[in-house]
Structure 1
Amino acid sequence: MAKKVLVVDDAAFMRMLLKDIITKAGYEVVGEASNGAEAVEKYKELKPDIVTMDITMPEMNGIEATKEIMKIDPNANIIMCSAMGQQMMVVEAIQAGAKDFIVKPFQQGRVVEALSKISK
């Protein structure tokens, strides 16, 4: 059975790009969210196996959303997505509970590697 993925990014184009990479890699995208607050709600509703989480978003950023999701499910598999030069935020994300991170612009191989690493 394909692992279920929730894609979270405030940019529709980025979500589309990620969905394409994820589905081609054999995973099932069960939902998407455009901000952290929405991500937390969708996580409760869809119970995905993996979440790709953008860091910089309106309403609630990815780090706050990761902390909220970890309260709901301490075993959540969250992969942070960050633009170049956000190393401090990546460290903060890992401390918040993220299992891995991928850097934008997305490289298909790296996204698939992060997904397969945490879906074992």
Structure 2
Amino acid sequence: MMKRVLVVDDAAFMRLSLKGILERCGFEVVGEAENGVKAIQLYRQLKPDFVTMDLTMPELGGVDATKMIKMIDNEAKIVVISSMGHETSVKEAIMAGAISFILKPFDEETVIRQLKEIEKSIVD
């Protein structure tokens, strides 16, 4: 079964890039959000198998959005995608419940490898 993904990033080009990688990999991108507030709304509405989450976004950042999504669904699978400059935030996100992180700028192989690992851990 095709895994459903919510892509969260304030940069449209990053959402587009991730969406392309995910779709080439056999995932279905069911929604896109440009901030944490929208991510929470879409998570509730779409109930995706997992979420890719940027950390630095307007309105509500990735750490807080991760915490709130985990409150809605403790089983939520959230992968943080962030630049190394946010090392503290990455640690905070993992503590908030993110299951993995991918550093920007990323290469397609790294993203695919990480997501395939996560996909294996998701029981249908």
Q: Is the TM-score greater than 0.5? A: yes
Tell me the distance in 2 between the aligned counterparts of 1:56 and 1:115: 21
Letter in 2 for 1:97: G
Match of 2:94 in 1: 94
Show the counterpart of 2:80: 80
Which residue does 1:48 correspond to in 2?
48
Q: Which range moves more in the overlay, 58-67 or 83-92?
A: 83-92
Q: How many residues align?
A: 120
What is the alpha-carbon distance in structure 2 between the residues aligned to residue 106 and residue 19 of structure 1?
Answer: 14
**Residue of structure 2 equivalent to 1:109:** 109
Aligned-residue CA RMSD (Å): 0.7
Structure 1 unaligned runs (5+)?
none
- What are the equivalent positions in structure 2 for 1:11-90 lying under 5 Å apart? 11-90=11-90
TM-score by length of 2: 0.94
Provide Cα deviations, 1:7-47, integer angstroms capped at 9, x if missing partner. 00000000000000100011000000000000000000000
TM-score using structure 1 length: 0.97
Q: CA deviation at 1:116?
A: 1.2
Output the CA distance in 2 between the equivalents of 1:39 and 1:114. Answer: 21
| Structure 1 CA distance for aligned equivalents of residues 114 and 105 of structure 2 | 15
Percent identical among aligned pairs is 56
Give distance in 2, aligned partners of 1:84 and 1:97: 19
Spell out, residue by residue over 1:78-109, the C-alpha distance to the aligned partner (whole angstroms, 9 max, x if none): 00011122111111110000000011112111
Structure 2 unpaired stretches of 5+: none
1:79 match: secondary structure: strand
